[in-house]
Every structure is written in structure tokens, then in C-alpha cells.
Amino acid sequence: MSASKGPPFRFYGRRQGKKQSRRQNDLLAELLPRLTPDPDHLPDGDIWLEIGCGGGEHIVSQAAANPDVTLLGCEPFLEGVAKTLTEIEERDLHNVLLHGDDARPLLEAMPEACIARTFILFPDPWPKTRHNKRRFINPENLDRLARVIRPGAGLRIGTDHMDYARWILRHLLDHPAFEWTAERADDWRQSPADHFETRYERKARDKGDRPVFFEFVRRA
């Protein structure tokens, strides 16, 4: 991947969790390099991007349901990457690319308007006010997304954290490149018909939380 020209990105989340099994280490050593996208040579056809794909529940389900699309996941947490690789191998999927790292340098290296759909599902809420500036949804990242998302393409953001939900709406409504498509409350209170539940979402629902899903379109 082309190196980022600026200073390295500061990353606040976890990169390491439990120790990986031998099989997971093999997948990280052998399969991950084969699935790592080269931003200068992306595949032809539609590419759907998922930022923070966690343990891969959503990305592998979308890949299985949409075999004509390439799913491109970004996840810096090694344990999540290892779980996703295991699912990709077990489900014999051939339409997933995996960037096992921070999405931001990849977004900067990808060509303009190359992404046909984007998912950001349950981004870290960083609930303390002094940590809010770590939230992935911020003006700089929206500029990065606006550059790579094709005009007319959708951006779906899900969260169970109501303060972050208000933050997301405020930032997206303030950004000239994005338009919120909701017409009625059910458009954001209900899970979208083509959504697949994530691990984080399942835990939130088990606690009694009610996630919301915002759908935006990249303006022309």
C-alpha cells in the first residue's frame, strides 16, 4: 500500500486481545496477505466497504448474500481479524478483502469514488466527553469517506449509543457530501431489511438497548 505522507495516525482502540490459536496464526500468516487490498489495484465491479468489521459476522454474511460484490473490511483488532479469516475460510468465500489495520490510511490511498456502499456498524462510542474527539465519525473522516464513496452510493451507520447517534446525525447533516434518506422514524429505529446482526449489536440487544441505523447517500 502507498505509505501515508503525513505523520502516523494515532489509534486509540485495542489491537491485541487473546492469544491466537495455531490455526488462527496460520490464517494470519498465509490468508491475510492474500486478502489484503492493494489500493492501486482494486478489483473490478462494485466494492462495499465495512469499517470496523469486528469479528466479521456482518461482512461474511453480506459476502455470502452478494457473491457479485467485493466486500472490503477494515479492522485493526487482531482477534477480530483472525475470527473473520476463520469464517472466510470455513464458508469458502472468494469475494472478501481484509485490511487488518486502521481504515484511515487505506481511505487516503484509495482512488476517488471507488466504493459502491459503506457500512460503519457500532463504531466505538467513546462516551466520556473528553474522549469524544476519538470517535471515528468526525469531519476529517467524513471528508475521507466523501472522497472514496461514489456519488449516489449509500453509507449505513448503526449505533446503540444515543449520544453518539445524535453526534453522528449532527456531523453528517453538517457535511455537504451526505444526505440523510429517512422519511419516518421507523426508517432508523428498525434494522434495515438487508442487515445482518453483529456481535456487538447482539450484546447491546441482550442488555435491552435499541440500536438505530442511519442511512445516508453520497450526494452527486
Number of residues lying near ligand SAM (CB under 6 A): 22
Listed ranges 26-34, 180-188, 195-203, 211-219: which one lies at the site for ligand SAM (CB under 6 A): 195-203
- Smallest gap from Cβ 220 to ligand SAM, in A, equals 27
Cβ 218 vs Cβ 177: under 8 Å: yes
C-alpha cell at 61: 454474511
Site membership for ligand SAM, residue 136 (CB under 6 A): yes
Residue from 52, 100, 105, 211 in contact with ligand SAM (CB under 6 A): 52
**Could you tell me which of 128, 139, 219, 133 has the C-alpha nearest to residue 181?**
219
Shortest-Cβ-distance residue relative to ligand SAM: 52
Site membership for ligand SAM, residue 142 (CB under 6 A): no
Query: Toward ligand SAM, which CB reaches closer, 147 or 179?
Result: 147
The one-letter amino acid at 71? L
Q: Which residues, in sequence order, are CB contacts of 182 under 8 Å at separation 6+?
A: 188, 214, 215
102-121 binders of ligand SAM (CB under 6 A): 102-104, 121
Site membership for ligand SAM, residue 74 (CB under 6 A): yes
Cβ 219 vs Cβ 157: under 8 Å: no
Query: Toward ligand SAM, which CB reaches closer, 53 or 172?
Result: 53
- The size of the chain, in residues, is 220
Site membership for ligand SAM, residue 205 (CB under 6 A): no
194 is catalytic: no
C-alpha cell at 126: 467513546
* Cα–Cα distance measured from residue 30 to residue 189, given in angstroms and rounded to the nearest whole number: 41
The catalytic position among 44, 68, 92, 124 is: 124
- Smallest gap from Cβ 106 to ligand SAM, in A, equals 8
Q: Where are the alpha helices (DSSP H) in the chain?
A: 22-35, 57-65, 78-90, 103-109, 139-148, 162-174, 186-189, 199-206
Residues at the site binding ligand SAM, with contacts judged by CB under 6 A? 13, 51-54, 74-77, 80, 102-104, 121-124, 136, 198-201
Residues serving a catalytic function are 124
